[in-house]
Structure 1
Amino acid sequence: METRNYGRWSELPTDMLTSLLERLSVVDFQRSKLVCSNWYLCSKQTVRPKHGPPLLMLSLEEDGCVLYSPDEDRVYETTTNSDFLGYRFLASSGKWFLVGDSLSKLYIIDVFSEERIDLPPLESTEGGPFRLERKGAKEFNEESVIINGCNTCRIVDHEDLRGVLWVDDKNGDYVVVWQFGGSDEYLGFCKKGDDRYREIPTRIGVQGLDDMVLKGYNLYVLTSRHYIRHLDLSRQDGFKDVSENHMFPLRLPNVSWDEYARLRANKVISSNRCIAVTTSGEVLYVITIACETSMIFHVYKRDPKDLDPNTHDTRLVHVDSLGDEALFLDLGITVKVAADHTLGIEPNSIYFTRGDRIRRKKVTCLDLCVYNLATKTIINDYQNKTKTIKRFLGLCNLNVKDAQWFLPR
């Protein structure tokens, strides 16, 4: 039989290359696409789950960043780590991250390659009463043209900048929404092809901002007055409020005496409220409470009986189980867990890193954990010293200043 010497990796037979790619970790699989055009084409034909195991993007105190795979307990250096120095990772969508550099410029980057999309400058925002003027590398002069008959002006810092991101890997479409954490008065957003940001005023209609979730062209906003707004950003002429008519303030169920006693027994450090959107499009209301020795999570949804538009509030009920879904609070979404549990995603669990994802707060509780709703316990937490808890051992020697869960596709 004639044999052939495959001296180049690019000349591997398709069946051999496919077998190799199927055995790679999610990080190595993404990087394999960069080897050559043959490997890239073969990777597109390799059948893999929609989502791989969840990863953590870790920002280190020495201004570097690494990827961590809890499933493998392995730290990966980013391929362009030197280019990430000084970057702040604001949000993610699959393998894409919204980042801000040391000069307060925004980009969308592929963390597995060197691909980068430059975004318009922040001061290009138009369409509303607010104007941003750059005052240096890290500060902006934020001026309102007119509010209640008078002008206002204040200085905002780039550390206050927050954002959300959505990228469609199939056609390259994307949406970016940002705001300054110290201001809940407007949002800036852009889509693929835009050369400037358009403004969404939040003093009118949206009524303040406590949290936001971007899912496709749909922006969900938790307002300061406890309303939930739904904005459609797909329109060519801006955005449209497509919220339900039933827009009364959310009303939580009464706290039980057992829960009250539990809170009294734990010294509360901070609390936060946020929203998330399920795979079916249902909005969840989540309260996180950071205590000295534990994290407490409460998940609510709209009471299905509360359908009368004439009622004076929106009643919420406890969500005791997410079923076969997992909630990633960093992303503001739930994902369905495949039948193959070797993927490393825990069903009926909450993946959490911090409580000020959108609004910057004085107390930032960085707590890398996965919370099981059924047992109401933290099942992964590298900082927790309890012996019964599995720790992320690969992080023990890292000086982590920030982290985000993400789901590479």
Structure 2
Amino acid sequence: METPPDSRRWSELPVDILRSLLERLCIVDFHRAKLVCSNWYLCSKQTLRPKVGRSPPLLLLSPDEEDGCRLYSPEEDRAYETTSIDFSGYRILGNSSKWFLVVDSRSDLYIINVFSEEKIHLPPLESMKGGYYKLERVADKELKCKVISESYRSGVVLTANDLRGLLWVDNKSGDYVVVWQYVELGKQFLGYCKKGDDHYREIPTAKLGDVRRELRGQRDLVLKGYSLYIFTSYDYIRHLDLSGQDGFKDVSETHRFPMWRDDYMNEELLGMTTISCRDTIVVTTSGEALIVHSRGYESNKNFEKHRLFRVYKRDSKDLDPDTRDTRLVQVDSLGDDEALFLDMGFTVPADHTLGIEPDSIYFTHDNRLRPDWRTPRFDICVYNLATKTTKRFPVLSKFNLKDARWFLP
């Protein structure tokens, strides 16, 4: 179809005028403008704001009503309607850059670009091949999981509310990886697919899958590129390489990653009541695994809410390959060149010019994989490890949220 005359005129604007226009746009409209045409996209790459390849952090807000999501820009202290895509009817499972992994009421999975109408349809969950479990659709909104065995027990009925997931997308190549799990079966298996797959592969995490004892189960997961990090039920870090064409490769080390005892924190929290508590695995830009303890609490006197974070890494003295029972030591700082986005599970380079504060933790809720959707405990904030201060965004209190996610466009 021929391009309308008005559209051609917009696409033929002189580069200096177009660049001046783009530099005046807010971050949300800037990303929308890139999609107008190829000339606008190329010009955006030469525009000073935002920095080439990077953008200020944003929040995707999912209200507890059927009026779609909003984008919140901390830089502007302003919320925007997501007019380009309708998120109503979906639940967000994970995100990578401007891409979000969502599930509908039928347990169908999609990847959606928050700034455009682009939607990637993923294989049906019942397409999983290999492994020890089989998913069968038994109703419009229900699936049944069965063990592939002559003597399997009756299948467990599952719905979209039981599903959790992770996403990674390469913005340059368009490659992606999707990992999902059911909370009811969280200690048994994971499913994953990559771009070009028409089915999912199983990742066994239980004895049934011939997984050695210390690597069974999962307390938390992080997906960074083709690397899947699993914090196991026995306090080990299991590291899987998902890049292979014929399945995954286990590249786990033998070192144990034991949980620390938090008894010392009781003195700090005298006169306080703990309202949420969570241990999370995160991965740094260098690939090092850390454990982050987050705790929400309130004063017994005035009910004022507070949040505390502690970051731990494996003791460098216990890195000998023959050492199995290693220790954890507290990390006082992430460094002036890194910031942690707990929703995504990894650190990124800090940048004051983009509003990415160094040595800070960007936080929304305690459990990115198993939040309580009925009574969510949100505490959208930025916590500075060096100063132990918490920055919140009062304007968000007017939204009755069921979910929120930090992301970097």
Q: TM-score, normalised by structure 1?
A: 0.89
Aligned residue type for 2:308? I
2:167 match: 165
Aligned match of 2:285 in 250, 273, 279? 279
1:122 match: 125
1:90 CA drift (Å): 1.1
> What secondary structure is seen at the aligned counterpart in 2 of 1:289?
strand
| Deviation per residue, 1:349-384 (Å, 9 max, x gap) | 11111112113458642111111111222122x4xx
1:210 match: 219
Quote the sequence identity (%): 59
Q: Does the 8 Å CA contact 2:107/2:159 hold for their aligned counterparts?
A: no
User: Following superposition of structure 1 onto structure 2, how do residues 48-127 of structure 1 map, counting pairs within 5 Å?
Assistant: 48-63=51-66, 64-81=68-85, 83-127=86-130
| Deviation per residue, 1:227-259 (Å, 9 max, x gap) | 11110000011000001132x241426643xx2
1:15 aligns with 2:19: no
1:39 CA drift (Å): 1.0
1:150 CA drift (Å): 4.8
- Structure 1 stretch displaced more, 179-188 or 308-317: 308-317
- In the alignment, structure 1 segments of 5+ residues that lack a partner are 1-5, 383-390
1:151 CA drift (Å): 3.4
| Deviation per residue, 1:287-307 (Å, 9 max, x gap) | 111213212211101111112
Aligned match of 1:334 in 328, 331, 347? 347
Q: Does the 8 Å CA contact 2:92/2:101 hold for their aligned counterparts?
A: yes
Q: Distance in 1 between matches of 2:8 and 2:35?
A: 19
2:45 match: 44
> What secondary structure is seen at the aligned counterpart in 1 of 2:126?
helix
Q: Distance in 2 between matches of 1:7 and 1:219?
A: 45
1:230 match: 239
1:304 match: 316
- In the alignment, structure 2 segments of 5+ residues that lack a partner are 1-6, 299-304
Q: TM-score, normalised by structure 2?
A: 0.89
| Deviation per residue, 1:122-177 (Å, 9 max, x gap) | 11112111111123343321112249x75352122211211111111111111000
1:183 aligns with 2:185: yes
Q: Distance in 1 between matches of 2:171 and 2:130?
A: 29
| Deviation per residue, 1:268-315 (Å, 9 max, x gap) | 122111111111111111111121321221110111111233334121
1:267 CA drift (Å): 0.6
1:27 CA drift (Å): 1.3
1:386 match: none
Q: Does the 8 Å CA contact 1:301/1:317 hold for their aligned counterparts?
A: yes
Q: Distance in 2 between matches of 1:113 and 1:254?
A: 45
Aligned residues: 385
1:347 aligns with 2:358: yes
Q: Distance in 1 between matches of 2:9 and 2:245?
A: 49
Q: Does the 8 Å CA contact 1:146/1:152 hold for their aligned counterparts?
A: no
- Structure 1 stretch displaced more, 294-303 or 355-364: 355-364
Aligned residue type for 1:218? S
- Structure 1 stretch displaced more, 110-119 or 42-51: 42-51
1:221 match: 230
> What secondary structure is seen at the aligned counterpart in 2 of 1:182?
helix
1:218 CA drift (Å): 0.6
1:388 match: none
> What secondary structure is seen at the aligned counterpart in 2 of 1:9?
helix
Q: Does the 8 Å CA contact 1:95/1:110 hold for their aligned counterparts?
A: yes
1:320 match: 332
